Amino acid sequence: MVRSKMQKCKDCGAYGLSTTCKKCGGTAQAAGPLKFSPQDPQAKRRREYQKVTDPKWVENLPSPKVEEE
């Protein structure tokens, strides 16, 4: 399944609609970021997938670096 229609080649940077580059035969991936919706209809499923309710999940989050004095 392709994330978005426009694909960009990782090797030569050519744009196309296929996940294989027509110019060099390299791998192409989505050229733009995933569509974002503030309503986020998949949020509940994603939270379940990432096990957000698990206490250990918090440890996986990136935290700002605390400067030591």
Q: Contact positions toward Zn ion, by CB under 5 A? A: 9, 11-12, 14, 21, 23-24, 26
Choice between 13 and 43, CB closer to Zn ion: 13
Joined tokens for residue 25: 């035969």
Shortest distance in whole angstroms from residue 44 CB to Zn ion: 38
Assign 3-state DSSP to the chain and report helix, strand, coil percentages, each to 5. Answer: 20, 15, 65
Q: Which residues lie below 8 Å from residue 17, measured CB to CB, with a gap of 6+?
A: 5, 6, 7
Choice between 4 and 27, CB closer to Zn ion: 27
Shortest distance in whole angstroms from residue 12 CB to Zn ion: 3
